[in-house]
Amino acid sequence: MSAAAKKQPGIPMAPVKSAQLGAIGYDPERQVLAVRFARGATVYHYDGVKPELHAEFMAAKSMGVFFAQRIKGMPFTKFETAPEVERLPADDTEGGAL
């Protein structure tokens, strides 16, 4: 499916501790798993992910290994997202000049 024409459905995502994965979200009503990788802004939605599989994924000792073995081969839809803007600290020098 063309990701450019699709608007990303809202699934709240939370950061995870993984070298490969950056954030994960899940919509239990639609059984959709949302994954953003550590390097990149694209969000992948995997349909048909049962709550039990999601629970196993979240409890996995290595989320990256679990993803590769149990989820990676499932059908998905890609959604391009705007890159996150790095927030710089406020300038506390007098007059705003460095």
Asked whether the predicted pLDDT for residue 1 surpasses 70, the reply is no
pTM of the model as a whole = 0.74
For position 30, what pLDDT does the model report?
95
3-state secondary structure of 34: strand
Tell me the sheet residues that pair with 32: 27, 47
**pLDDT tens digits for 45-98?**
999 999 999 999 999 999 999 999 999 999 999 998 655 544 555 555 555 555
HSE (CB half, 13 Å, CA atoms) of 6?
16
* pLDDT band at residue 41 using 50, 70 and 90 as cut-offs: confident
Supply angle C-alpha 67, 73, 38, rounded to 5.
40
